[in-house]
Amino acid sequence: MMVDSSMSDTAKVSPRAGPSYAGWIGKLANSPIYAATIGLIANSRMARLALLLVIPLVWIITLHIGPIYQMARISIMDNYPPAPGGAIYTLDNYRLFFQEPLYFMPFLRSIVFAVCVTATTLVVVYPVAYYVAKVVKPENRTRALLLLLTPFWAGELIRTFSVIMFLANRGAVNVFLREIGFIDRPIILLYNYFSLSFGVIYLISLFMLLPLYSAIEKIPNSLVDAAADLGAGPWQRFRRVILPLSRDGIISGCSLVYLTSIGVFAAPLLLGGPNSTIFPEIIASLFHGSSDKWPEGAAFSILMLAVSLSTVGLFMRVVGGRTVKLM
Partner 1 sequence: MRSYFSDFPKTALQASYWLFVIYLLLPLALMMAISFKDANFVAFPIDKWTLKWYAQVLQDKQFLEACAYSIFIALMTTLFATIVGVWIALLITTEGMIARSVIFALACLPAVVPGLINAISMRIFIRVLDIPTGTGAIILGHTVHAVPFVVIMVLTRLRSMPNNLVDAARDLGADSFVAFMRVTLPYLAPALAGGMVFCVLTSIDDFVRTFFLGGYQTTLPMLIFAKVQGGMSPEINAIATLVLIVTAAVGLYAEHLTRRSRT
Residue 292 interacts with partner 1 (CB under 8 A): yes or no: no
Residue 50 interacts with partner 1 (CB under 8 A): yes or no: no
DSSP-derived letter for residue 76 is T
- Considering only the stretches 90-98, 151-159, 189-197, 244-252, report the one whose residues sit in contact with partner 1 under the rule CB under 8 A: 151-159
Residue 236 interacts with partner 1 (CB under 8 A): yes or no: no
Sequence-ordered list of residues with C-beta below 8 angstroms from that of 275, at least 6 positions apart, any chain: 192
Residue 170 interacts with partner 1 (CB under 8 A): yes or no: yes
Residue 244 interacts with partner 1 (CB under 8 A): yes or no: no
Residue 194 interacts with partner 1 (CB under 8 A): yes or no: no
CB of 170 to partner 1, least distance (A): 4
Sequence-ordered list of residues with C-beta below 8 angstroms from that of 104, at least 6 positions apart, any chain: 97, 98
CB of 194 to partner 1, least distance (A): 14
Q: Helix, strand, or coil here: 167?
A: helix
Q: Which of residues 203-222 bind partner 1 (CB under 8 A)?
A: 205, 221
Question: How many residues sit close enough to partner 1 to count as binding (CB under 8 A)?
Answer: 109
> Within 10 Å of residue 268's Cβ, how many Cβ atoms?
22
Rounded distance between C-alpha atoms, residue 235 and residue 226, angstroms: 15
- Considering only the stretches 87-95, 101-109, 230-238, 314-322, report the one whose residues sit in contact with partner 1 under the rule CB under 8 A: 230-238
Output 211 or 280, the one with its CB closest to partner 1: 280
CB of 18 to partner 1, least distance (A): 6
Sequence-ordered list of residues with C-beta below 8 angstroms from that of 184, at least 6 positions apart, any chain: 178
| Nearest Cα to Cα of residue 163 among 193, 204, 200 | 200
Q: Which of residues 114-143 bind partner 1 (CB under 8 A)?
A: 124-125, 127-128, 130-132, 134-135, 142
Rounded distance between C-alpha atoms, residue 241 and residue 86, angstroms: 62
Q: DSSP of 79-143, one letter per residue?
A: SSSPPTT---B-SHHHHHHHH-HHHHHHHHHHHHHHHHHHHHHHHHHHHHHHIIIIIS-HHHHHH
Q: Which of 94, 104, 120, 162 binds partner 1 (CB under 8 A)?
A: 162
CB of 99 to partner 1, least distance (A): 22
Output 1 or 318, the one with its CB closest to partner 1: 1
Residue 38 interacts with partner 1 (CB under 8 A): yes or no: yes
Q: Which of 27, 31, 50, 67 binds partner 1 (CB under 8 A)?
A: 67
Q: Which of 76, 117, 168, 254 binds partner 1 (CB under 8 A)?
A: 168
Check if the beta carbon of residue 59 is closer than 8 Å to that of residue 53: no
Q: What is the CA radius of gyration of the chain?
A: 28
Residue 94 interacts with partner 1 (CB under 8 A): yes or no: no
